[in-house]
Each structure stands twice: as C-alpha cells, then as structure tokens.
C-alpha cells in the first residue's frame, strides 16, 4: 500500500455519457487537505456517477483525475483504495450474518493468509481506528444486531481500516434518524482534522453545518463552486433546483370536525412477537393532515400495516365511517377507499419487474374500467398511464420500462399517482419523502396538501420534524406503541416534539 | 448506439455459450472414440431429412410443450414445480381409468371427459404441494420431489395390481400395463402411417391460450404480480397464497393433460415409463424458452430434435443414446452461464468500450494521418489493459 499523503485531489473536465443522458458534463472540482467538500444536487444530477468514476467503478469518457497534481488512472476500486481513497456507499455494503471484524476482514488481503485469517490482527486494527477517531464499535458484534447508525459507524471503520485517508460519503444520512444525523455530523467534523472528506447530500441544512466548501451539480454540470460560509439554505436550494424552492406550508387549521377514522385501543404484534402497538388510540378528521411523529421503530410500521390489513390486529378496533376495518382483507380495505403509501417503496409500493403502466393499475387491475370480462383493455391502461405520467411528472424513458429501474423519486411519484388517482377518503403516508431530493419533496408536499383541501384525511407518518410542522394540522407523538400526546401544530415546537419523541412527557402530562 | 452494442453483446455471449456446449459434448464424444462433427451432423440434420423424422419430433414436442407451459405458469407465479413427472403419471392413471371404466359413450363425449380427468388428477396432485407451501410454508422443492416418489410407486402398484391387463395374467407374462383403451377414447392420428396425433394441435392452441391468460387477463396479472413482487402484490390486495395454490394446480393440470394425451394419442394404454422424463425435460424446455410460450414452442422443437437425433445416432453411429443427456446437461450449464454473463453490467460496459474504441479507431483511420493513428492506437491499448 502506498502511504503518500493526499494533499489535493482534483478532477478536470470529467465527462460521462450514458444512453440518452449526459451524466457528467465536463466537471472540474478540487479538494484540499483536511477539507470537507460538499457535493450537492438533486437525484440524477450526476453526483453518484462522478463518485463512481473517482472510485474506478466507471471509466470517464473524457477528463482526468489528479492526485497531488499527478494524473492517475483507477481501473477498479482496488486501485482507488491503494491510493488512499475510500467510499462509504449510500446502501451499506455489509454482510448481516457476519461480525464486524469479519466484515472488515473481507476487504483486507494482508490479514488473509492461505486458509488462515488473522482475526486478532483485525480486531487490533479496529480498536486502533475506533480509538483514534472516537468511533466506538464492538469487533465481535453481528451486523444484524446493530442499529442503522451503528452500521454506519462500522462502514466508516471498515473504510478507514482499509487505509483510506480520503473519504467519500454518498448520502450518509439518508437512512439515519435526526439524532443519529447530528452525531454523524459532529463526528465528521472531528475527523476532518485528520482526513479530507467529500460529502454528498441533498439535505442542505447538513451541508451548511458541515462543509468548508460546496459544489452544486445540476444536470451533470457544476453550477456553483465556492465556500459554504455566507450561503443561506434557500439560496443553495434555488441554485440546486434551478428555480425558487418554497416548500409548501399548511396555512389554515383544518379538519371539518367530522371524524372519519377512529382507532381504539389497538394492539398489534411486531414480527418478533411483542406488542408493537400497545393500546393505541387515534382519530382522524375529514380534510386534515394528522402528523404522527416518533423515532422509527416505535410502532409506526405496525400501525400502517394494521390499517392496510397487512398485519393481524390482536384486539381493539379500526372504525372507518363507523364500520369495522380491523382484520379485514387488504382488498376490502382498498375498496373501502383507504390509500396507503408504504415505507418500503421499492419492494412493497411497486412490483419491481412490472412496467410503469402495469404498476399504475396495481390496485385497480380488476375494475370494469380496465377490464372487459377477464381481459385487459390495453387502450384504457395506456391512457391511464399517460395521463398520470403527465399529471405527476413521472420521468421515465417509456411507460414500458420496469418500474424498479426508476430513481427513488420517480418510483415514489408512481406510487403517489396510483394512490391519489383512486381519490381515497383516507390516505396513510409513511415516510413519503425519505431520501428524496428537494424538488421531489416539494412536489409530493404540494400534492398532499391539494388532496387535503379536497377533503381527504391524511395520516402522515414521518421523522422529519420540518415536514410534520409544515404540513400537519395536528401532530400526535408515538412512543413505544402508544400515543403520548396529540396537539394542534401551532401549539407545538421542534423542541417540545423532540422531548416527546424521546419519551419525555412535558408539562402537559406532569 | 448502446442498444446495438447490447444486441451484439447478447449475440456474442449466446454464440460463446453454444460453442461451449458443443465443445463439451465433443470432448465426451472424442473420449468415446467417435467423430464429433459426424455425430453432430447426424443429430442435427438426420431427423429433419424426412417426414418420419419431422413427425416424430412433433410427437415428442407435445408433452414437452404442455409440461413446459405449466412450468412457466408456476415459475412466473413464484412457485417452482419440480413435480411434473409425478403429475404426468397421475394424469395417465386418471385418463386411462376414465377411458376404461366409464360406460361406452360417443367419442365427442368420452374423449373430453378422459382428458379433463387427466388434467384434474394432475391438478389435484400438484395442489397438495401448493397448499403445503401456502398454509405451512413447506418448500415446494421438497414436497414436489417427494410427491414424485409417491406417484411413481402408486403408478407401479396400479399397473401391476388393480389395473393390469387381465390378458397379461392369463398368458402369464405379467407385463405391467393396462388393457387397451376403447377406440372412442383415442386421439386420432393426423397423417396415415405416422404417429403424429391431434394432441399436437391441442398443445399449440394451449400455448397461445397461456400467453393470453398470463399477459392479457386480470388473473394472469395477479399470478405474475404474486411471483414478481409478493410483498407488493399483497399490498395491492392480491391473495398471494391463493395465487400459489392456483398456479400449482394449473401447472399440475398441464402436466396431467400431457399424460392424458400421451396415453390416448400415442400408447393407447397405460404402460411403464410412459412419462419418460418429460417432467424434468419440460423444466429445461421452459427455462430455455424464457418461460414464455413464444419461446417454449421452438425450444420444445430443439429438444425434440435432440431426442430423435440421439435415437438416430445410436442406430447409425452406435453412440449411446444417453449421450443426449450429456449434451442436454452441457446446454443447460452454458445457458445458465450465459444468463449470468448477459446480466453482468460491468462486463457489458467493458465490451461496449472495446467496440467503441474499435469503431473510433476505424473511423479515425479514414481521416487522420497514419502517424497520428498509430499513436492514438497505442494509448488506447495501454488504457484498455485490465
């Protein structure tokens, strides 16, 4: 391994074409020693492609990579690691049923000798790294036992153990809770005294809190390069999207007072058998958005599943217009007029190999509108897809491409289009903008507010306090399967919600 | 541009796979001391030379197509049916029993009844595995294979006991077979003197119907959704468990029908070994045909050709007919390898880059001076080395 320090890394005129797309359009960037450069851009702006080129996963069509002023060629990630560049991918590259030390060992040739693995050496290296950077990890814990935040730390330790002195982090916070995100940002700031970091994100608050300099990509081009200080979030947002971004806000206090969905004393078991919902009660009024705040894992998934008929209700009731829905089949709940935007948009929200057109009729494929007897009316399904594509701005090469190949934002738009086209009376939206860029977030927020003004009751399950405060009429806080408090949005604050989410009942309960 | 590369890439990989299969077979033939080229020539051309060969291929195609159609339905619905062999045997038994024991009826009544009996028996036999999977999450690989054993023993028992031809007992030869079916239950032959029967027409019509069913109806949509994304299907209000049982029953019905048609169209009595491995070859035919009726029919033709060709090489070149199994194995291995390679994005990327550079070099050569061209080529070659 070459241990020459990396004083500077620069790319010059990098261009990469994919069929029909110019992913990177002569991009030039540079990062100095001990510097944090944030690369910001919407989904599809070319951030990840650029990083894959830096790591040797792709070859650029044009342009060059310079380290300490000398041109280098990376043919595989091994070349990049040998030079000291390491990347933490957005989706963790860890084997769940191996331990931390075993995962680290996977990439380390020097600890693998013929039929013999130097586990003690790996543990020692892990302890060194975790002490040096203050990254507590247990070498012998299994990955599946760790929380998402801990897994992130393991990824960092793994990359550092491989000798990385230059870190690339691809959207490292997209799966983290707000608390874990704050911890990570503090940690990266500390680490920057020792390392150089490229931080890819589209969450501008994090970018301004962390980075020294910033580069904004839009449609494969660098549209802004400069220091971070002095830039406001809204300024950066409009540079990123190319237009003024105003996340819509819920102005009026809503709810007609007419209760449409009443959940009483609901008890539901989690996959592991304990009561994830332990006597939860909640009511939803026509034409309101009820935000459900809470740290994930407090029963949100089980609540949404139970409401959609996908999980058995042990006791309690779900009354929709005074009719019992608990333990009804998913189909009868769909037909009753309840929409559901699921948490797992890639596997649950769409059938990945099915094309966009077929996915748009997933809940209505039996209806008279799309079927004549048992046979599909292809004209109708195509027309339906074309209309929804236009209305919801679904960007895909053709309606016949597999929905699973679309970007996260476009998959979410497919789901949103399908659910909203059915004009639901109640919509359950679970983390609807998680991991999406600002443009998509803005679009989805607008649609949700529009739906609300048409009289639909929306249960918005989210961890993003800004999202909840912006959109909700009322906010309820879930903790360990129970509702701790419900209050009108204007009577609450981030601080108050944060305390409640941590399970600390404020003066209201005392 | 990229799509041309893609097509070229798939073509190149497929060609390499076919060559690999041929080469593997050639090694075995060489060891046997036969001339591989001559053997391949016999296998691939001899059956196509006359009407007899062609009709015999078609005779083999009938069960292969039917079984493969059922396999395609089950695989597309997310349940793997390895039990077609047993389902064929149950179909043979039920069809033969219906033909023998039903009162004498006109052909137009009895033949459909016999075929439906066969299909129903296969469907019921397969549903056991479907039900076990849906209700108790028993692996269908395990249950269908085990059900094959039970079916084989039951088949042998019935042919040696309750259903044996009384004449066999009188003569004392004791060949395990049933009496000849009444003529009313026969499927007619198409060409006098040849064994090809109207079951072939049934198979082709069903291939079209399966296409329509899977891709043009709401039922097919539900089954395919259950297979392609069970979580999303459940979320969309589809009863995935019901789909599994239905898919398995359909697969069994097709295998049972294959058995019923073999007995009424070809052998006209239930005999030992009637399924002759079609239950397993059908899986290969289905996968080779891309789990799509439009691929299954030509792929059944190809495997029918191999079967007849193997018979002929045995007679003409005295190469053991089991050689065809070796070839089948080689073909399957190369298909699987080819599929992995075709799905490999990185390899494709490399291939496309290589072609692109070739193309640029060729184009550059026309316009640029010789010296510049040579220099550029040198740089390119250096960067291409892995």
The pLDDT tens digits of the residues spanning A416-466 come to 999 999 999 999 999 998 878 788 888 999 999 999 999 999 999 998 888
- Indicate if A370 and A294 belong to the same structural domain: no
Q: Are strands A196-201 and A36-40 parallel, antiparallel or unpaired?
A: parallel
Contacts of A375 in chain B (CB under 8 A): 212, 216-217
| Residue A1: inside a domain | no
Q: Which of A41, A49, A44 is nearest to A395 (CA)?
A: A44
- Indicate if A58 and A206 belong to the same structural domain: yes
HSE on the CB side for B259, CA within 13 Å? 37
| Residue A346: inside a domain | no
| Residue A349: inside a domain | no
- Residue ranges covered by each domain of chain B: 1-34+319-343, 54-318, 346-384
For A99-124, what is the mean pLDDT? 84
Q: Tell me the pLDDT of chain B (386 aa) as tens digits.
A: 566 777 788 788 878 888 888 888 888 888 888 888 888 888 888 889 989 999 999 999 999 999 999 999 999 999 999 999 999 999 999 999 999 999 999 999 999 999 999 999 999 999 999 999 999 999 999 999 999 999 999 999 999 988 898 888 888 788 899 999 999 999 999 998 899 999 999 999 999 999 999 999 999 999 999 999 999 999 999 999 999 999 999 999 999 999 999 999 999 999 998 888 899 999 989 988 889 999 999 999 988 988 888 888 888 888 887 777 787 788 778 877 887 787 777 677 778 777 777 877 776 654 444 333 333 333 333 333 33
User: Please, where are the H alpha helices in B137-216?
Assistant: 140-160, 166-171, 199-216
Across the interface, do A365 and B221 touch by the CB < 8 Å criterion?
Answer: yes
What size, in residues, is chain B?
A: 386
- Indicate if A416 and A445 belong to the same structural domain: no
Of A340, A347, A375, the CB nearest to B217: A375
Q: Tell me: ipTM over 0.85.
A: no
Q: How far is B356 from chain A (nearest CA, A)?
A: 11
State whether residue B2 sits within 8 Å of chain A by CB: yes
Across the interface, do B216 and A375 touch by the CB < 8 Å criterion?
Answer: yes
For A120-147, what is the mean pLDDT? 87
Of A334, A350, A374, the CB nearest to B219: A374
- Burial class of A238 by CB neighbour count within 10 A (0 to 12, 13 to 18, 19+): middle
For A84-103, what is the mean pLDDT? 88
State whether residue B217 sits within 8 Å of chain A by CB: yes
Residue A2 pLDDT greater than 70, yes or no: no
Contacts of A330 in chain B (CB under 8 A): 234-237
- Indicate if A415 and A447 belong to the same structural domain: no
Contacts of B235 in chain A (CB under 8 A): 308, 310, 330, 340, 342, 348-349, 362
Contacts of A55 in chain B (CB under 8 A): none
Query: Any idea what DSSP says for residue B225?
Result: H
Q: Which of B123, B126, B262 is nearest to B200 (CA)?
A: B262
- Indicate if A229 and A251 belong to the same structural domain: no
* pLDDT attached to residue A220: 86
- Burial class of B363 by CB neighbour count within 10 A (0 to 12, 13 to 18, 19+): exposed
Residue A153 pLDDT greater than 90, yes or no: no
Chain pair A-B, CB pairs under 8 angstroms: 75
For A496-500, what is the mean pLDDT? 86
| Residue A139: inside a domain | yes
Q: Are strands A213-218 and A36-40 parallel, antiparallel or unpaired?
A: parallel
Across the interface, do A329 and B237 touch by the CB < 8 Å criterion?
Answer: yes
| Residue A107: inside a domain | yes
C-alpha–C-alpha distance, residues B98 and B117, integer Å: 7
Provide the sign of the torsion angle of the four alpha carbons B246, B249, B251, B253, taken in this order. negative
C-alpha–C-alpha distance, residues A148 and A362, integer Å: 31
Of A19, A310, A344, the CB nearest to B2: A19
Contacts of B212 in chain A (CB under 8 A): 375
* pLDDT attached to residue A313: 95
Name, in order, each residue with C-beta under 8 angstroms of B336's C-beta and a sequence gap of 6 or more. none
Structure tokens at B150: 């039970």
Structure tokens at B183: 């003529």
Across the interface, do B225 and A350 touch by the CB < 8 Å criterion?
Answer: no
| Residue A345: inside a domain | no
Would you say domain B54-318 falls under CATH 1.10.3470? yes
Query: By residue range, what is the domain housing residue A403?
Result: 355-420
Phi-psi region of A231 (alpha: psi -120 to 50; beta: other; left: phi over 0): beta
C-alpha–C-alpha distance, residues A13 and A24, integer Å: 9
**Residue B386: closest C-alpha in chain A:** A75
Find how far residue B376's CA is from the centre of its chain.
51
Structure tokens at A330: 């998913």
**Residue A365: closest C-alpha in chain B:** B218
| Residue A327: inside a domain | yes
- Indicate if A214 and A363 belong to the same structural domain: no
Name, in order, each residue with C-beta under 8 angstroms of A259's C-beta and a sequence gap of 6 or more. A283, A284, A285, A286
Interface probe with B: pick from A19, A351, A415, most Cβ of B within 10 Å: A351
Residue A510 pLDDT greater than 50, yes or no: no
| Residue A50: inside a domain | yes
- Burial class of B183 by CB neighbour count within 10 A (0 to 12, 13 to 18, 19+): exposed
C-alpha–C-alpha distance, residues A132 and A172, integer Å: 21
Most confident among A114-118, A433-437, A439-443, A478-482 (mean pLDDT):
A478-482
Structure tokens at B375: 């220099």
Name, in order, each residue with C-beta under 8 angstroms of A455's C-beta and a sequence gap of 6 or more. A256, A286, A287, A425
C-alpha–C-alpha distance, residues A324 and A162, integer Å: 57
Higher pLDDT, A4 or B96: B96
Identify the contact set of chain A against chain B, taking CB-CB distances under 8 A.
Answer: 18-19, 58-59, 73, 75, 308, 310, 329-331, 333-335, 340, 342, 344, 347-354, 358, 362-363, 365-366, 371, 374-376
State whether residue B345 sits within 8 Å of chain A by CB: no
- Burial class of B69 by CB neighbour count within 10 A (0 to 12, 13 to 18, 19+): buried
Across the interface, do B239 and A331 touch by the CB < 8 Å criterion?
Answer: yes
Structure tokens at A252: 């009026």
Q: How far is B245 from chain A (nearest CA, A)?
A: 18
* pLDDT attached to residue A380: 93
Q: Which of B189, B194, B262, B187 is nearest to B51 (CA)?
A: B194
Q: Total domain count for chain A? A: 3
Find where tokens 């990083």 sit: A51
CATH number for position A119: 3.40.50.300
- Indicate if A206 and A261 belong to the same structural domain: no
- Indicate if A258 and A233 belong to the same structural domain: no
- Indicate if A59 and A152 belong to the same structural domain: yes
Contacts of A329 in chain B (CB under 8 A): 237, 239
Say whether A246 sits in a helix, a strand or coil.
coil
C-alpha–C-alpha distance, residues B148 and B133, integer Å: 16
Across the interface, do A376 and B218 touch by the CB < 8 Å criterion?
Answer: yes
Name, in order, each residue with C-beta under 8 angstroms of B180's C-beta and a sequence gap of 6 or more. B165, B268, B269
- Indicate if A116 and A188 belong to the same structural domain: yes
Least confident of A161-165, A244-248, B13-17, B52-56: A244-248
* pLDDT attached to residue B233: 96
What size, in residues, is chain A?
A: 510
Of B1, B225, B234, the CB nearest to A310: B234
- Indicate if A295 and A218 belong to the same structural domain: no
Residue A248 pLDDT greater than 90, yes or no: no
Across the interface, do B3 and A19 touch by the CB < 8 Å criterion?
Answer: yes
Find how far residue A269's CA is from the centre of its chain.
26
Of A404, A420, A436, the residue that ends a domain is: A420
HSE on the CB side for A85, CA within 13 Å? 29
Across the interface, do A350 and B222 touch by the CB < 8 Å criterion?
Answer: no
C-alpha–C-alpha distance, residues B347 and B6, integer Å: 11
State whether residue B386 sits within 8 Å of chain A by CB: yes
Spatial contact of A74 and A80, defined as CB atoms under 8 Å apart = yes
- Indicate if A268 and A409 belong to the same structural domain: no
* pLDDT attached to residue B371: 39
């Amino acid at each position: 391994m070459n241990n020459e320090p990396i004083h500077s890394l620069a790319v010059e005129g990098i261009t990469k074409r994919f069929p029909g797309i110019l992913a990177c359009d002569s991009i030039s960037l540079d990062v100095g020693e001990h510097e944090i450069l944030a690369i910001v851009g919407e989904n599809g702006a070319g951030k990840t492609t650029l990083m894959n080129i830096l790591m040797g996963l792709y070859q650029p069509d044009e342009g060059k990579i310079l380290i300490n002023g000398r041109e280098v060629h990376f043919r595989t990630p091994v070349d990049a690691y040998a030079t000291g560049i390491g990347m933490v991918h957005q989706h963790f590259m860890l084997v769940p049923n191996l331990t931390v030390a075993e995962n680290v060992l996977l990439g380390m040739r020097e600890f693998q000798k013929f039929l013999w693995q130097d586990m003690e050496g790996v543990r020692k290296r892990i302890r060194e790294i975790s002490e040096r950077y203050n990254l507590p990890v247990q070498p012998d814990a299994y990955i599946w036992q760790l929380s998402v935040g801990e897994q992130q730390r393991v990824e960092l330790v793994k990359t550092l153990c491989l000798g990385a002195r230059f870190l690339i982090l691809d959207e490292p916070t997209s799966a983290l809770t707000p608390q874990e995100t704050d911890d990570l940002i503090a940690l990266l700031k500390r680490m920057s005294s020792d390392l150089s970091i490229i931080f890819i994100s589209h969450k501008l608050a994090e970018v301004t809190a962390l980075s020294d300099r910033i580069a904004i990509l839009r449609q494969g081009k660098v549209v802004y390069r400069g220091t971070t200080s002095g830039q406001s979030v809204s300024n950066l947002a409009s540079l990123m999207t190319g237009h003024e971004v105003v996340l819509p806000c819920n102005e009026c206090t809503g709810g007609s007072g007419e209760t449409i969905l009443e959940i009483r004393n609901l008890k539901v078991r989690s996959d592991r058998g304990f009561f994830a919902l332990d006597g939860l009660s909640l009511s939803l009024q026509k034409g309101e958005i009820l935000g459900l705040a809470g740290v994930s894992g407090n029963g949100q998934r089980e609540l949404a599943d139970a409401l959609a008929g996908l999980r058995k209700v042990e006791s309690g009731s779900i009354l929709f217009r005074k009719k019992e829905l608990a333990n009804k089949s998913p189909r009868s709940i769909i037909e009753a007029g309840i929409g559901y935007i699921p948490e797992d948009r890639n596997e649950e929200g769409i059938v990945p190999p099915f094309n966009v057109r077929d996915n748009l009729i997933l809940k209505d494929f039996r209806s008279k509108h799309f079927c004549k007897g048992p046979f599909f009316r292809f004209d109708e399904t195509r027309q339906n897809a074309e209309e929804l594509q236009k209305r919801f701005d679904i960007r895909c090469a053709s309606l016949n491409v597999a929905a699973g190949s679309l970007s996260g934002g476009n998959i979410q738009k497919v789901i949103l289009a399908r659910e909203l086209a059915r004009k639901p009376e109640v919509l359950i939206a679970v983390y609807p903008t998680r991991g999406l860029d600002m443009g998509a977030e803005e679009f989805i927020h607008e649609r949700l507010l529009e739906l609300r003004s048409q009289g639909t009751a929306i249960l918005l399950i989210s961890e993003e306090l800004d999202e909840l405060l912006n959109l909700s009429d009322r906010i309820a806080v879930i903790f360990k399967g129970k509702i701790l408090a419900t209050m009108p949005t204007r009577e609450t604050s981030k601080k108050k919600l944060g305390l409640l989410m941590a399970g600390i009942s404020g003066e209201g309960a005392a | 541009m990229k799509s041309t590369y893609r097509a070229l890439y798939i073509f190149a990989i497929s060609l390499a796979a076919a060559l690999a299969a041929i080469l593997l077979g050639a090694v075995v033939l060489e060891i046997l001391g036969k001339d591989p080229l001559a053997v391949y020539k016999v296998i691939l051309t001899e059956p196509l030379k006359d009407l007899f060969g062609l009709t015999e291929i078609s005779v083999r195609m009938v069960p292969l197509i039917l079984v493969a159609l059922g396999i395609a339905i089950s695989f597309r619905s997310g349940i793997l049916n390895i039990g077609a062999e047993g389902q064929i045997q149950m179909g043979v038994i039920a069809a033969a029993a219906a033909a023998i024991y039903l009162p004498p009826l006109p052909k137009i009544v009895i033949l459909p009844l016999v075929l439906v009996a066969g299909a129903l028996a296969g469907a019921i036999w397969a549903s056991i595995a479907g039900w076990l999977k849906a209700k108790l999450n028993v692996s269908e690989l395990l249950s269908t294979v085990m059900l094959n054993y039970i079916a084989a023993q039951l088949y042998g028992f019935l042919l040696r006991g309750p259903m044996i031809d009384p004449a066999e007992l009188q003569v004392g030869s004791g060949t395990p077979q049933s009496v000849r079916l009444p003529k009313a239950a026969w499927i007619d032959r198409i060409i006098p003197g040849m064994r090809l029967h109207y079951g072939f027409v049934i198979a082709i019509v069903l291939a079209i119907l399966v296409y329509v069913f899977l891709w043009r109806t709401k039922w097919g949509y539900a089954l395919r959704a259950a297979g392609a994304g069970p979580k999303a299907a459940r979320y969309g209000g589809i009863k995935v468990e019901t789909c599994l049982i239905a898919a398995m029953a359909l697969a069994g019905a097709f295998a049972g029908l294959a058995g019923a048609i073999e007995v009424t169209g070809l052998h006209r009595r239930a005999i030992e070994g009637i399924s002759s491995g079609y239950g397993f070859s059908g899986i290969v035919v289905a996968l080779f045909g891309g789990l799509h009726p439009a691929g299954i029919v030509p792929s059944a033709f190809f495997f029918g050709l191999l079967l007849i060709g193997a018979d002929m090489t045995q007679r003409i070149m005295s190469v053991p007919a089991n050689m065809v199994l070796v070839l089948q194995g080689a073909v399957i291995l190369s298909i699987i390898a080819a599929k992995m390679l075709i799905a490999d994005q990185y390899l494709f990327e490399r291939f496309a880059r290589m072609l692109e550079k070739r193309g640029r070099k060729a184009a550059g050569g026309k316009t640029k001076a010789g010296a510049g061209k040579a220099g550029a080529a040198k740089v390119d070659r250096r960067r291409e080395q892995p």
